[in-house]
Amino acid sequence: MEQVPDALFEAGRVARRLKEEAYRLARPGASIYELAERIESIILDNHARPAFPCNVGINQVAAHYTPTPGDVTRIPPKSVVKVDIGVEINGFIADTAVTVADTPEGEAMRLAAEEALKTAIKLVRDGARVSDIGSTIQSVVNRRGFKTIRNLTGHEISRYNLHAGQSIPNVQTTDSGRLRKGHTYAIEPFVTLPEGAGEVVESGEATIFRFEPRPRLEKGLKGDEVSLLRYIADEFRSLPYSTRWLLRLGREKLELHEKLVRNGRIHAYPVLVERHGTPVAQAEHTVLVKEDGAEVLT
């Protein structure tokens, strides 16, 4: 069997420690800007890089929100907060998330997501059907009186590729995919209240971006726009980034960046929110598939 590189295990260990740090810090009153910056700076201190900007999702915000430059948001009381962390070492990625809930109902949602994840991991082995994992996650969550989000899924992870190939559903599906030995997957149940839609939609906002190389990308751009685009390509390659990471170039570059996004030169990930506005909890581990089980990396 192909050797699993140490970098993958090390990325997992860093991610696991950060999850504990996030669980401690993501409390009512905390600045989400400081939280994200703290998590990302610990990643760098560990000779690793963020695989994506630290996501902080409050209540109905399920995914793809990272604090923006100048973001003054503090975690409100009675909230459900998700902190989603990606650690990359030499292209090997660990992806994990934690929920902090400040209400009994939110805490029950968090526990439902954690139990669903734990139960799903017990099914992991070479050849396991992803549809069995999806229906198990859904039934555990339903049994606890909650609902899963059907259009957010776990995913296979390969080198330098956070979303590679196979998805891992959070509901019953007809997906005939199977897990494969030696491959790495993130499993991530998302849970909301029974009155929720069980579905996320795009909000009008985007806070996470990605450079996608393509022919003639620089055509028609001005000199300063081309240099910003090249800086982004060199610095972040094809990994998602935050505009907070552009602040070192000076605030005036943010406007230029916005223009590149508007003109379709940069890919923007829309913030994803529960369609009915209900709070969302999440649990996530990255696992390595073995012949007879899973090795949890995070």
Q: Which of 10, 88, 114, 188 is catalytic?
A: 188
Whether 188 is catalytic is: yes
Q: Which two tokens stand for residue 38?
A: 């703290």
The residue (of 98 and 206) whose beta carbon lies closer to Mn ion is: 98
The residue (of 50 and 106) whose beta carbon lies closer to Mn ion is: 50
φ, ψ (nearest 5 deg) of residue 287: -125, 150
Q: Does 186 bind Mn ion (CB under 5 A)?
A: yes
| Residue type, position 20, single letter | E
The residue (of 114 and 260) whose beta carbon lies closer to Mn ion is: 114
Q: Which of 95, 115, 156, 274 is catalytic?
A: 95
> Which residue, chain included where needed, has tokens 């996320």?
200
Query: DSSP string covering 84-121, please?
Result: EEEEEETTEEEEEEEEEESSHHHHHHHHHHHHHHHHHH
Whether 155 is catalytic is: yes
- The interface region with Mn ion, picked from 121-129, 216-224, 238-246, 281-289 by CB under 5 A, is 281-289
Whether 126 is catalytic is: no
What does the alpha-carbon distance between residue 90 and residue 35 come to, in Å, rounded to a whole number?
25
x/- string (CB under 5 A) for Mn ion, residues 87-126?
A: --------x-x-----------------------------
What does the alpha-carbon distance between residue 217 and residue 111 come to, in Å, rounded to a whole number?
46
Minimum distance from residue 265 beta carbon to Mn ion (Å): 26
Minimum distance from residue 201 beta carbon to Mn ion (Å): 19
Interior/surface letters 35-74, b for 16+ CB within 10 angstroms, e for the rest: bbebbbebbeebebbbbbbbbbbbbbbbbbbbbbeebeee
What does the alpha-carbon distance between residue 99 and residue 113 come to, in Å, rounded to a whole number?
9
Tell me which residue of 157, 186, 181 sits closest to 170, measured CA to CA.
186
What does the alpha-carbon distance between residue 139 and residue 7 come to, in Å, rounded to a whole number?
35
Cβ 131 vs Cβ 175: under 8 Å: yes
Minimum distance from residue 154 beta carbon to Mn ion (Å): 6
| Strand 241-242 to 267-274 pairing | unpaired
The residue (of 97 and 246) whose beta carbon lies closer to Mn ion is: 97
Minimum distance from residue 195 beta carbon to Mn ion (Å): 26
Query: DSSP class of residue 178?
Result: B
The kind and range of the H/E element at 167 are strand 167-168
Which listed residue (39, 58, 66, 84) binds Mn ion by CB under 5 A?
A: 84
The residue (of 164 and 256) whose beta carbon lies closer to Mn ion is: 164
What does the alpha-carbon distance between residue 243 and residue 254 come to, in Å, rounded to a whole number?
7
Whether 284 is catalytic is: yes
Size of the site for Mn ion (CB under 5 A): 5
Q: Which of 21, 37, 163, 183 is catalytic?
A: 163
- The interface region with Mn ion, picked from 122-130, 216-224, 247-255, 284-292 by CB under 5 A, is 284-292
The residue (of 188 and 274) whose beta carbon lies closer to Mn ion is: 188
Minimum distance from residue 86 beta carbon to Mn ion (Å): 6
Whether 95 is catalytic is: yes
Active site amino acids: 84, 95, 155, 163, 188, 284
User: Binding residues for Mn ion, per CB under 5 A?
Assistant: 84, 95, 97, 186, 284
